[in-house]
Amino acid sequence: MWGPGVPTQLIAPGSLADDIASKTRTKALASRKSGNLIGSIRSQGPVVTAGLGAVYYGFIDFGGSVGKGRTIKRKYTKTGRYLFPSVQEIGIRKQVESTIDNATKGLQ
């Protein structure tokens, strides 16, 4: 689950973490306003982390409502816009589907 200061994490099988992080950074370039979001997408061993140092990562990737009175809205998407679509393109979707379901329970 994500929230302010909570990074999104994914454990990738084998050595795919570097590929996933690279593809995710490329996708995130499209909504770039600063380098903080892109710089927060990292891989170390089998773990891909996004959002450490960019507390708004979850909002940018998944959408939802934030701000005072939840007045700032971005269309919610269960699969996200950057991290999980990158996983799907690399071809390991089935191994992380349960991660997506667990991470997005109750976010609508």
CA angle 27, 44, 58 (to 5 degrees): 45
Residue ranges of domains in the chain: 8-103
Give the 3-state secondary structure of residue 95.
helix
| pLDDT band (50, 70, 90) for residue 24 | confident
Residue type, 28: A
- For residues 12, 18, 21, 24, the Cα torsion angle rounded to the nearest 10 degrees is -100
Total-model pTM: 0.63
2 pLDDT exceeds 50? no
Give the containing element (helix H, strand E) for 20. Answer: helix 17-28
